[in-house]
Amino acid sequence: MMPPAPETDPSVRPDIHVGRDNWLFLTGGSNDVAAQYGTPGFPLAKLWRWRRLLEARTRRLGALGIGYAHAVAPEKLAIHDHAFDGLALDPARSPALRLERWLRFSPARSCLVDLVRPFRARARDTALYRRTDTHWTFAGGWLAYAEICRHLGVRPRYDIAARRLGTPQVYAGDLGAKFDPERCEIAEPCLFAGAAQRVHANALITAFEADGRGRDAHIGAYAVFRNDAPGIDPRRLVLFGDSYAHHTPNGATGTLTPLFADTFREVHMLWSTSIDWKLIERIRPDFVVSEIAERFMIEVPQAGFDIDKLAALALARKGF
């Protein structure tokens, strides 16, 4: 008879490093995050594919007269390394920094927004990520938004922080919730008052909302926001992103979509790392922003993306 398998200690997670003062860092997971920072680390072949992809996007959007920004949301590993406490990892091996070097003599360098250096410059005096989460605090989300705005030649809104709503709350982020008992923190509010209204949500979002799980509508989600406030930037922006650009605000983490919706007359948010060229040609935005979490760079986006087909596939897979 085989001996019984040892019980897993719920207070230990092999894919999460516990740093100083309850700082949690994702090191494993399906994308083997820490290995991307190692040697050889992020594959050179994929950096080459990213270079060709961004060059193609830059040329095509430039021909349409559309401003373009590509932003990589850095891993917490690259930013808050002062809280590692024993984790042997080199932040300079960040895939986002390696991509920047790979684009040094490429026309696509003009589209890349560097978030690593501005984040590292602020990280020792300001928490830019939640301690128990892989995502940004309000300060982190606003800093990313401001850097993208500056790249596009747009003045960011400096009054947003003064319009924040709510009170601090006990929060267990996507990393803290993996422990038993959960590891929690006090999270300051990230919601704020504004004039933007959602004027469209595709069937994927509305199906999840009808099921009481609106924030769980991920890949394939598509929402449009309209802001008719006086003095708002009259231009239109299309944002392709992931959970760092979430279509539905979260009270405990900072995301890009509500910040852009507070800035521009019209914002389209598509949960995708690929670009829907048919949609771009139909609505002719002034700006396109693509955002991707650094750990997801390992999956280079595919061409021929269609948001309606992706949403239908996602609905079928979820059983709606």
pLDDT digits (tens, 9 = 90+) for 183-192: 999 999 999 9
Look over the chain and give the mean of its residue pLDDT values, rounded to a whole number. 94
Tell me the HSE value of 226 on the side-chain side, using a 13 A CA sphere: 4
Query: Does the structure show a pLDDT above 60 at 24?
Result: yes
Region 12-33 average pLDDT = 94
The tens digit of pLDDT for each residue in 191-232 reads 999 999 999 999 999 999 999 999 999 999 999 999 999 999
**More confidently predicted of 314 and 149:** 149
Q: What is the pLDDT of residue 271?
A: 97
Q: At 12, which amino acid appears? A: V
Percent of the chain with pLDDT over 70: 97
Query: Does the structure show a pLDDT above 60 at 29?
Result: yes
Query: Does the structure show a pLDDT above 50 at 7?
Result: no
Name residue 71's beta-bridge partners: 113, 291
Q: What is the pLDDT of residue 173?
A: 97
Name residue 292's beta-bridge partners: 72
Q: What is the pLDDT of residue 1?
A: 42
15: exposed, middle or buried (Cβ count in 10 Å: 0-12, 13-18, 19+): middle
Q: What is the pLDDT of residue 8?
A: 53
Q: What is the pLDDT of residue 11?
A: 63
Structure tokens at 116: 């690593």
140: exposed, middle or buried (Cβ count in 10 Å: 0-12, 13-18, 19+): buried
